[in-house]
Copies of this chain bind each other. A is one copy, B any other.
Amino acid sequence: MVPGPTNVPERVMNAMLTPIINHRSDDFRSLYKTIVSKTKQVFQTENDIILLTASGTGAVEASVINMIRKGDKALVPVNGEFGNRLADLIDAWGGHAIRVQSEFGENPPFEAIEEAFEKNEIKAAYAVYNETSTGTTLRYLKKLGELCNSKGAFFIADAVSILGGDELPVDKWGIDICVTASQKALAAPPGVSPISISDKAKKYLKSSPPPTQYFNLARYFRYFEENFETPFTPALPLFFAFNEALDIVLEEGLESRIKRHATCADAFYSSLGAIGFKPFAKLEARSNVVIAFNYMDGMDDSKFRTSLSKQFKVLVAGGFGKLKGKVFRIGCMGEVNKYHVMRTISSINSVTSMLNAKTNDEPLGIAAEKLKAIP
């Protein structure tokens, strides 16, 4: 139950056993085309799709080094470690990140973003849609897309930990570049990262490629447009697995999948609240895919998580950076189902009861009631 890599269904694991093929062959071209067409459906986009053999960080980096040149101003809402990291990357690369900040656990005020647009010539806005480090989701992506569009700025979304687990209609929200990764809400093994790219962004990045090769998106486009190939050897078994994972997403249906994530999240927030934990994120910013709770006073992070993992075989994540020791985080993504949720809640309830020497069965009833929405 950590926030990725998530559990991978057996069908997807087994797809990795497909014999290795030549990546300069019709077999590969047909696989690549199929993956691209399914990915478009999951991204809800008509834009082009590029697949990288890299973790999500690599794909986020690609969105920076292909779009940002020396001195370019890029707006970044920052309310956690990944937002910080993205802004730092833009600065290190020679751009100028305009950080719009808030306390962790909140969404930076939209008015401050509008103000930053008024005061600066912003070339692109980079938004971390789901901040894995704090369990918060930026709930005004659509509005931000409209703002970018009205100002002629590129709009780039880091959706690594959320795509497939919450609403994200890429075209409707005007997202020029949307980045995700295989091992989060899409429930495939880690190592493949898809990126959608609008015509406007494609035109720009082709006119101004970065001084490197591996994340040079113009090069990926050239190989794709000429031959439906990748420029460099792709991680073939992970491509086969990702293809199978997309099938599962489409079989379930995107809408049902998003609803399932919301129901599981609701069960977590309500029942862990009834145990006595307080969610880290403010109500309006709470994530449905990464659930972060503050520890109760005096509770020890290491004791809690060790007992959960050793005695109850349930793995949750600790805090990150300045939240280390203060929160625990649950991955509520991918193939998460009602049994995962009930087992996690009952285990947390047990460990908490044992640490605090008192029992409470109410949270289980609350969760069971909420989870009835899932067939």
Residues of A within 8 A of B (CB): 2, 4-8, 13-14, 16-17, 20, 22-25, 53-58, 61, 65, 85, 89, 92-94, 181, 183, 189-191, 211-215, 231-238, 241, 315, 317
| A13 CA / B236 CA spacing, docked (Å) | 12
Q: Is the CB of A7 within 8 A of B22?
A: no
Q: How far is the CB of A70 from chain B (nearest CB, A)?
A: 11
Contact A20 B7 (CB under 8 A): yes
A-side interface mostly: loop
Q: A233 touching B56 by the CB < 8 A rule?
A: yes
Contacts of A2 in B (CB 8 A): 22, 24
Please tell me if the beta carbons of A4 and B233 are within 8 angstroms of each other in the complex. yes
Q: Which residue of B lies closest to A181 (CB)?
A: B233
Q: When chains A and B are docked, how far (Å) is the Cα of A94 from the Cα of B213?
A: 13
13 A-B pairs in the complex with CB atoms less than 8 angstroms apart? A5-B233, A8-B20, A13-B17, A16-B17, A20-B183, A20-B189, A53-B54, A53-B235, A57-B233, A190-B234, A214-B215, A235-B238, A237-B238
Q: Verify B232–A58 contact, CB threshold 8 A.
A: yes
A10's nearest neighbour on chain B, judged by CB, is B17
Across the two chains, which residue of chain B brings its CB closest to A192? B235
Contact in complex: B189, A235 (CB < 8 Å): yes
Q: Give the residues in chain B near A53, CB-CB below 8 Å.
A: 53-55, 58, 190-191, 235
Please indicate the chain B residues that have their CB under 8 angstroms from the CB of A61 in the complex: 212-214
Report the Cα distance A17→B238, complex, angstroms: 12
Question: If the complex has contacts A233-B5, A233-B55, A238-B235, are A94 and B211 also in contact, measured as CB distance less than 8 A?
Answer: yes
A5 adjacent to B236 (CB under 8 Å): yes
Decide: A58 near B65, CB < 8 A? Known: A191-B238, A238-B237: no
Indicate the member of A4, A6, A20, A61 with the most B CB atoms within 10 Å. Answer: A20
- Is A5 a contact partner of B17 (Cβ separation < 8 A)? no
Contact of A14 among B17, B89, B213 (CB under 8 A): B17
A162 shortest CB reach to chain B, Å: 15
A54 touches B22 (CB 8 A): no
Give Cα A292 to B56, complex, Å. 38
Q: For A92, what are the chain B residues with a Cβ–Cβ distance below 8 Å?
A: 211-212
Question: Could you tell me the distance in whole angstroms from the C-beta of A296 to the nearest C-beta in chain B?
Answer: 24
